[in-house]
Copies of this chain bind each other. A is one copy, B any other.
Amino acid sequence: MISFENDYSEGAHPAILRRLTETNFEQVPGYGNDPYSAHAKELIRAACGTPEADVTFIGGGTQTNLIVIASLLKNYEGVIAPSTGHIGVHEAGAIECTGHKVLSLPGYCGKLDADDMKKYLAAFYGDESHTHMVFPGMVYLSFPTEYGTLYTKKELTEISAVCREYGMKLFVDGARLGYGLMSEANDVSLSELASFADVFYIGGTKVGALIGEAVVFPKGDQPVNFITTVKQHGGLLAKGRLTGIQFEALFTDGLYFEIAKNAMEKAKRLKSILAAKGWRFFLDSPTNQQFVVIDDETLKRVREKFVVSFWEKPDPTHTVVRFATSWATTDAMLDALEAFQ
């Protein structure tokens, strides 16, 4: 079976395993106070063009989302997200479990719209009983989105402006950030992203690491005692070296971007293979996640040879499925798909 199920089916980029092995018996302090973590943070600050940034490594995406959001929101605030945002759908209520509401706005192929935000905010503050409602304290969006789509620089500029006007923090979930940045369709650089966002994270788990996301507060205004909040939610690794060494490897000599680029090249070929099969695209995604509508009989045969992700049932006889490429996708895997009849 060849898997296009997701971008975390394999282990880690070999450079990471090599470095873990090379450094294995060095004794270093725990909880992220090791020299590898320190160096990785420096490399990330340099890559983002944000010398003042605070950088913290956390194990996974849901954990990162809940910790960042809980650390920034006041008790009476919630977080705006598109209806399809990961925090509102596939995190088992992690945000609510910290006491905060996810304020759902329409998602357009996974994306928030600045005009919707303005209307929502005008209605909220115009409502005479808004003190009985959850205050919008923050905006969450994913880059790329859960549907593989990308915000343009213009869209982020507008969204960011709305956030500033209304005193809301802008948080960018970058679980697949590398893939977004390396998409041919992308017009946003990492440093531009860092200038739009109040906080974002650079996804490792889905871009070649075993585990780990790098949370970046680009302006260096990480909440006081953020590490205590991380600990409180069980997100502080005793062996912080595990994330430090991985991000050091990923941000040495541009490895992160190089392996993300592989996923994009493979996605391009994947798209043409899927198109050649005559399968309808559910939406137009410029990144490593491709969604197609397949009739259920064909899908049954596909699933005898390939692993793909269920997405939704548009009607009783068809299914939307996701094919994902990653840093580890090979042409041999795509050859097999191409050969599939």
Kindly specify which of A43-51, A86-94, A249-257, A279-287 makes contact with the partner chain: A86-94
Chain A interface, DSSP helix/strand/loop, else mixed: loop
Given A10-B24, A131-B225, 10 additional A-B pairs, CB 8 A: A5-B29, A10-B26, A11-B23, A75-B97, A96-B99, A97-B233, A99-B99, A123-B312, A132-B228, A205-B239
In the complex, whether A59 has a CB less than 8 A from a CB of chain B is yes
- Nearest Cβ distance between residue A71 and chain B, in whole angstroms? 7
Given A63-B234, A128-B310, the answer on whether A75 and B8 have CB atoms closer than 8 Å is no
Kindly specify which of A12-20, A184-192, A261-269, A270-278 makes contact with the partner chain: A12-20
Are B76 and A225 interface neighbours, CB within 8 A?
Answer: yes
- Nearest Cβ distance between residue A222 and chain B, in whole angstroms? 13
* CA of A26 to CA of B26, assembled, Å: 29
Are A228 and B135 interface neighbours, CB within 8 A?
Answer: yes
Given A90-B129, A242-B211, A312-B123, the answer on whether A30 and B59 have CB atoms closer than 8 Å is no
In the complex, whether A66 has a CB less than 8 A from a CB of chain B is yes
Partner of A133, one of B90, B206, B307: B90
Are B232 and A97 interface neighbours, CB within 8 A?
Answer: yes
In the complex, whether A328 has a CB less than 8 A from a CB of chain B is yes
* CA of A231 to CA of B60, assembled, Å: 10
Are B232 and A91 interface neighbours, CB within 8 A?
Answer: yes
Are B70 and A75 interface neighbours, CB within 8 A?
Answer: yes
Given A10-B26, A17-B17, A24-B12, the answer on whether A71 and B75 have CB atoms closer than 8 Å is yes
Are A232 and B92 interface neighbours, CB within 8 A?
Answer: yes
The 7 closest A-B pairs by CB, nearest first: A63-B234, A11-B24, A92-B232, A3-B27, A93-B134, A9-B27, A92-B231
Contacts A/B (CB < 8 Å), 8 sampled: A9-B27, A10-B25, A14-B24, A70-B75, A93-B134, A131-B231, A211-B237, A234-B234
Are B93 and A101 interface neighbours, CB within 8 A?
Answer: yes
Q: Which residue of B lies closest to A13 (CB)?
A: B24
Q: Which residue of B lies closest to A14 (CB)?
A: B24
Contacting residues, chain B, for A11 (C-beta < 8 A):
20, 23-26, 239, 241-242
In the complex, whether A21 has a CB less than 8 A from a CB of chain B is yes
Are A310 and B242 interface neighbours, CB within 8 A?
Answer: no
Are B228 and A92 interface neighbours, CB within 8 A?
Answer: yes
In the complex, whether A67 has a CB less than 8 A from a CB of chain B is yes
Contacting residues, chain B, for A123 (C-beta < 8 A):
312-313
Contacting residues, chain B, for A97 (C-beta < 8 A):
75, 98-99, 232-233
A78-108 vs B, CB cutoff 8 Å, 1 = contact: the mask equals 1000000000011111101111111010000
Are A25 and B328 interface neighbours, CB within 8 A?
Answer: yes
Are B75 and A234 interface neighbours, CB within 8 A?
Answer: no
Contacting residues, chain B, for A148 (C-beta < 8 A):
none
Partner of A229, one of B9, B30, B76: B76
In the complex, whether A62 has a CB less than 8 A from a CB of chain B is yes
Contacting residues, chain B, for A67 (C-beta < 8 A):
234
